[in-house]
Structure formats: C-alpha cells, structure tokens
Amino acid sequence: MPIIDFPDSFTVTVHGHTMDAARLSDMTGDAIAYLVRNGFTQSITDAAAFSASDKADLSEFDVAAMAAEKRQTRFDAILAGTVGSAGPRGPRLGALERGAVDFAIASIKLTPAISSGRVVWPTGQGSAAIIKSWVDQWMARPGNRDRALAESQRAIDALAVDADFDPTA
C-alpha cells in the first residue's frame, strides 16, 4: 500500500533519471522522507534567493525580513497545495500571442528611454509584473497589437518554410 497516493500521471525526469508514480508507490517511507526533506529544503531556500539588485540599498536586517516573508509565503503555498501552480498567471499563451509579446518586448527595448539607458530594463524580483505592464501599455497603443500579431504570424510562416530542415542530414 502506498504511503502517498500519487496521481498515475506523475512523472519527473532529471538528467535521464525518471521517477514516476509506480516507482514512488514501491519506495520505503525513509526513501520518500529523503526526497521530501531535500525537496522541501530546496524549495524553502529558493524562495528566499535574491539577486544583488533585489538587495541593493537594503540593510542586512531588511534582507533577512524580506527572506523570512518569502519563506513563509512559500511554506503557506506548500501547505495549501498551490506551490508550483500557474496561479493567477492564467493559461499559457499560444505561439502567435507569445510571438506578439516577444515583438512588443523587442520594440520596447528599442525605445530611446530604454536603449539610451535612461530607463533600466527591470530584472530580479517583481520584474515580470513591470515588463507585463509595459507590454500591456505598448499593445494598447493604436496599431501596435495588430503590428505585433502580424510580425508574429510572419515569423511563424517563415519557420513553416523550413519545416523539412533536418540538421542531421
């Protein structure tokens, strides 16, 4: 009898080593505890990883407080079963929409504010939300969304031309 009821579809592969529900079901409690201990430790540790720019201008006390808050948020998500889920991000974008977003990002990076360095491209904690906001603003400008979608479709069509390309031939 399995210690934990894993979904039959569960599988994870790391460096060619695959763990699936059947293998997990046959493992001892000590082996599963080892995996949980390592995964839990890594997850809580990763939650409090900050880049140098995230920590810039913060005291050691502020960094420690920020890390404790991030670890607690991760712990709460683990207990709630929401860690690793897409959460509020919504569904993944299709190829056409993803290409349009990529085109928007490239266009924003070419604006004088960014290319001159007057405005620094966001990195680190919170940067995804800032970039998404910029993309949304850029897409809302007249004609930009249509232009981005057209460029994305052009790129998709160009890739389709090379669909028979075989790098091993």
By CB atoms closer than 10 A (0-12, 13-18, 19+), residue 163 is exposed
Q: How far apart are the C-alpha atoms of 73 and 108, rounded to whole Å? A: 32
Say if residue 167's pLDDT is above 80. Answer: no
Residue 65 has phi, psi (to 5 degrees) of -65, -40
Are the C-beta atoms of residues 84 and 42 closer than 8 Å to each other?
A: no
Say if residue 88's pLDDT is above 60. Answer: no
* Predicted confidence (pLDDT) per residue in 117-139, tens digit: 899 998 877 888 899 999 999 99
The pLDDT confidence band at residue 65, using thresholds 50, 70 and 90, is very high
Say if residue 75's pLDDT is above 60. Answer: yes
Quote the pTM value.
0.48
- Bridge partners (DSSP) of residue 11 are 20
Task: Give the pLDDT score at 1.
Answer: 45
Pick 57 or 166 by higher pLDDT.
Answer: 57
Which tokens go with 63?
Answer: 């960094």
Q: How far apart are the C-alpha atoms of 90 and 107, rounded to whole Å? A: 24
Are the C-beta atoms of residues 55 and 49 closer than 8 Å to each other?
A: no
Are the C-beta atoms of residues 121 and 109 closer than 8 Å to each other?
A: yes
The pLDDT confidence band at residue 163, using thresholds 50, 70 and 90, is low
Please state the rounded mean pLDDT for residues 133-157: 93
Mean pLDDT in the chain?
85
